[in-house]
Chain A
Amino acid sequence: MPTKIRLIDRLPRIAVTIQANGQSITLENVLIDTGSVTTVFKTDPLSQVGIGLLNNDIVHTMYGIGGREFVIAKRLDTLILSDIPKLKPEQRNEAKRFVTLIDALYEHKVKLISTAAVAAEFIYSEGDGSFEFARTVSRLAEMQSAKWIEHG
């Protein structure tokens, strides 16, 4: 699955493959962050894999340049994240974002399948906040356990 970040119109985009109901669709140019630390998918492609509105979806409203949108939040069962790089000591911000991502996945009991350039304890082993990163390493280990994968 292609996961490289590409800048298109100066905005960071990735390809995302979504699997649901035994079907799969790849969206080629998903904007990673809309500016509210969220990724938004258009409903039409998702409806092709049977993802639609449900009675008690979590509903948000968003404001943007040139309009307003209402947005539905959906729960992920599993996230596949490939090519996690080793972070350099000066990549403190990237490390913090990674910690935030893992915390969110952990708290929502999402299954994570990932590949990384190095073992988890070496992803961010030096630099500001690397001591706190140990908790993320611990969480990653727990998320790889059979118990987690079985029950989330």
Chain B
Amino acid sequence: MTWQEIREKYPNCWVLVEAFDATTENGMRVINTLIPLGEFGDDYKPAWDRYKALHQLARERELYVLHTNREELNIEVLDGFGRKLADAYQNTPH
């Protein structure tokens, strides 16, 4: 599905989606196909929890938690993330 098709099918709610058939052009993700993995009403937290669970299992999957009021995807790619992602997160108090 395209983002616009997802917006029409799941209006005004948080969704968890996975990107397929995606490329990067001029630093922006061009995502031709999105698969909706869940619709979560007006609370993002269950969607976020689901994202974290899936992300933990398969970190290569391109997953997003987005609100369908969002008109365009506008997802920018940050290059040069040279660290283990886990390293970035050693920031909780201990």
Binding site for B on A (CB under 8 A): 8-9, 11, 13, 16, 26-31, 34-38, 40-45, 47, 52-56, 58-71
- Asked whether, in the complex, the Cβ of B81 is within 8 Å of the Cβ of A64, the reply is yes
B residues sitting closer than 8 Å to A (CB atoms) are 14, 29, 44-45, 48, 55, 59-67, 69-70, 73-94
Contact pick for B90, options A31, A38, A54, A61, CB 8 Å: A31
Q: Which residue of A lies closest to B85 (CB)?
A: A64
Are A26 and B87 in contact (CB-based, < 8 A)?
no
Contacts across chains A and B counted by CB atoms under 8 Å: 125
* Interface pair A56/B67, CB less than 8 Å apart: yes
Cα(A8)–Cα(B92), bound, Å: 14
Partner of A70, one of B65, B69, B94: B65
Chain A residues in 8 Å Cβ range of B62: 61, 68, 70
Q: A11-B83, A53-B44, A64-B84 are in contact. Are A70 and B64 (CB under 8 A)?
A: yes
Q: B91 — which chain A residues lie within 8 A by C-beta?
A: 13, 16, 27-31, 41-42, 45
Contact at B80–A36, with CB atoms within 8 Å? yes
Q: Which residue of A lies closest to B92 (CB)?
A: A45
Task: Report the minimal beta-carbon distance from B12 to chain A, rounded to whole angstroms.
Answer: 9
| CB <8 Å contact, A67 and B85 | yes
Closest to B12 in A: A55
